[in-house]
Amino acid sequence: MNDKGFALLLVLFMMMFLSLMTIHLVTTYSHEKLFLGLEKEQHKLEHIILNGKVEVINIIELNQGEPEGDIQYPEGKVSYHIQSEGMNFIVSLRGETDHQYTKRASFTYNRDTKIIDEWREVFVWD
């Protein structure tokens, strides 16, 4: 079988196949690692936006604080802007992580009924 070089050809094909599989697995691993990092940043943004919502509602309920400002968290910060329309308050939130990923959310809050309406979120790619 080896008289005409079949063994060399077989070994070359096997090496090529193993090399391609290794390259494929390394590439898949690196992309999964990047995706996991983005997913963690998304969870951080969700967390700080929801915490910011709770704090802004407390500001509205207690009628204390400024109509706009920043709230600092270990994962990042939330900037807020409160606009009053009678008993309804239009709130805009902008969350930003330490790695500069940004997400915006806005909602309407009614102080009498304590209901949050028209919740909107936008993930910002800068």
CB 73 within 8 A of CB 83: no
Q: What is the pLDDT of residues 43-64, one digit of tens each?
A: 999 999 999 999 999 998 888 8
The tens digit of pLDDT for each residue in 64-112 reads: 878 889 999 999 999 999 998 888 899 999 999 998 899 999 999 998 8
Cα atoms found within 13 Å of the Cα of residue 93, Cβ hemisphere only: 32
pLDDT of the residue at 125: 72
CA 91 to chain centre: 20
Strand partners, 115: 110
pLDDT at 114: 87
Determine if the pTM surpasses 0.75: yes
